[in-house]
A and B are shown apart, each in its own frame.
Chain A
Amino acid sequence: MSFVSRGFHGRRRSDADPSRVPPGQYVTSDYPVLSAGPTPHTALEEWSFSIGGEVDETRSWTWEEFRALPSEEVTVDIHCVTKWSKLDTVWRGVSVDTLLDGVETSAEHSIQYGDGGYTTNLPLADLTGGKAWVVYEYDGEPLDPEHGGPARMLVPHLYFWKSAKWIRGLRLQQEDEPGFWETNGYNNYGDPWKEQRYWGD
């Protein structure tokens, strides 16, 4: 790539602390919307979140039950594999540790599944220990359907495709099962600090 467009800088921000920006990423101040399909619109009366699979007992929460769980506000940086990063994003939600509290499992893998058919896989260890939340507010407001509302997964230490929008549940498994993008050229793990974007990275 040798050609440079004279005078073009793009809209990214150049004042970010470089130690917070993974290799190959650019910081944005807006919030690009990417989607693999039409925006689902699930009525809150029909919404539920479940944890199932290799567990002693399936857990499920209605929207009221979910909102009654202890929640926390978190400020994190997010990194999309399409190269934009957004720093200091503020969310409110329930820690996955809270959701898994009391769940007995020998599973090492998990699948997130959401309305619209999207799936993404993660080692269970990447969802626990204060690393993941099911969030329903962004920037102090209810999460917009366009951005994954009513609720989405938030796993900021990995590329953002590992945080499923329109989340409806987690399935815990002994076997790893590559999800929607992992089966189509993206990396199975997705660590932005090692720039694990694609298969073979």
Chain B
Amino acid sequence: MEALMLDGNAVAGLLHETFGGEMTTATGTCDACGASQQVGAVHVFRGAGVVLRCHRCESILAKIVVRQGHACVDLRGFRSLIALRGTSEP
């Protein structure tokens, strides 16, 4: 049991700020194991930056580091990432 782990939903604000829209309902596919998951359900770890890991195999999906006005994002762990845009959802 991993006491430090959070769900992707916990970093919804950070993701929204980084990507410009709601991302927890986006669907990502893990490049390592092929598992498909909503971003709200990925495993999140907070180190020096934020790390998103696959809920099935724990491989890294993404790393996000934010400083004033910039976000440094590594998305290589996502084979694909599909987000809905243009809806009226908050």
Query: Do A and B have CB atoms closer than 8 angstroms in the complex?
Result: yes
* Nearest chain B CB to A26 CB, angstrom units: 16
B45 pairs with A37, CB closer than 8 A: yes
A38 at interface, CB cutoff 8 A: yes
Residues of B close to A82: CB separation below 8 A = 48
A181 at interface, CB cutoff 8 A: yes
Q: Give the total of A residues in contact with B, Cβ under 8 Å.
A: 22
Residues of A close to B46: CB separation below 8 A = 34-35
B51 at interface, CB cutoff 8 A: yes
Q: What is the chain B residue whose CB lies nearest that of A116?
A: B58
B35 at interface, CB cutoff 8 A: no
A39 pairs with B2, CB closer than 8 A: yes
With contacts defined as CB atoms under 8 Å apart, how many contacts are there between chain A and chain B in the complex?
59
A197 at interface, CB cutoff 8 A: yes
B67 pairs with A36, CB closer than 8 A: no
A184 at interface, CB cutoff 8 A: yes
A36 pairs with B65, CB closer than 8 A: no
* Nearest chain B CB to A158 CB, angstrom units: 12
Main secondary structure of the interface of A (DSSP, over half): loop
A35 pairs with B45, CB closer than 8 A: yes
Contact among B3, B47, B72 for A185, CB-based, below 8 A: B72
B51 pairs with A37, CB closer than 8 A: yes
B58 pairs with A34, CB closer than 8 A: no
Q: Given A184-B72, A184-B74, A185-B72, are A34 and B67 also a contact pair (CB < 8 Å)?
A: no
Contact among A38, A117, A146, A186 for B49, CB-based, below 8 A: A186
Q: Which 7 A/B pairs are nearest by Cβ-Cβ distance? A: A185-B72, A185-B65, A36-B47, A161-B48, A36-B51, A184-B63, A34-B47
Give the interface of A toward B (CB within 8 A).
33-39, 80-82, 117, 146, 161, 180-181, 183-186, 197-199
Instruction: List 7 interface pairs A-B (beta carbons < 8 Å), by A numbering.
Output: A34-B46, A34-B47, A37-B51, A117-B60, A181-B47, A185-B72, A186-B65
